């Protein structure tokens, strides 16, 4: 299985801050990586697919980058509604695997 190392596990930031989360994979997955937002009690939501493509309807303050084994997810200006846990997920190989998540808290 491809191992996913996501960091940091938790993050506290202020409204308007730029926030970056990283995801490292145990082998080269080209750009086959997605990012999801998960709010408590709700269905996870796809934000970014294929490492850097913004899903339809997702605000442009969210962005993704990287390829190979190192990826980043950025919120350019943190908003109150961004309180959530964020996960990376690879689809290069089965079984699909997810990062352990980054819990984002608002200061």
Partner 1 sequence: QVQLQESGPGLVKPSETLSLTCAVSGDSSTSGSYYWSWIRQPAGKGLEWIGRISPSGSTNYNPSLKSRVTMSVDTSKTHFSLKLSSVTAADTAVYYCAREVVIVIGDAFDIWGQGTMVTVSS
Footprint on this chain of partner 1 (rule: CB under 8 A):
1, 32, 34, 36, 41-46, 49-50, 53, 55, 87, 89, 91, 94-101
- Whether the CB-CB separation of 105 and 9 falls below 8 Å is answered with no
Please report how close the Cβ of residue 69 comes to partner 1 at its closest, in angstroms: 18
E-strand ranges in the chain read 4-7, 10-13, 19-25, 33-38, 45-49, 53-54, 62-67, 70-75, 84-90, 97-98, 102-106
* Residue among 17 and 101 whose Cβ is closer to partner 1: 101
Nearer to partner 1, 17 or 38 (CB): 38
Closest approach of Cβ 61 to partner 1, in Å?
20
């Amino acid at each position: 299985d491809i191992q996913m190392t996501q960091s940091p596990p938790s993050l506290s930031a202020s409204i308007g801050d730029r926030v970056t989360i990283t995801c490292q994979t145990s082998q080269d997955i080209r750009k086959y990586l997605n990012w999801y937002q998960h709010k408590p009690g709700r269905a996870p939501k796809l934000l970014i697919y294929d490492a850097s493509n913004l899903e339809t309807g997702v605000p442009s303050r969210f962005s993704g980058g990287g390829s190979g084994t190192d990826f980043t997810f950025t919120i350019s200006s943190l908003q109150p509604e961004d309180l959530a846990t964020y996960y990376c997920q690879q689809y290069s190989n089965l079984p699909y695997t997810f990062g352990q998540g980054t819990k984002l808290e608002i200061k």
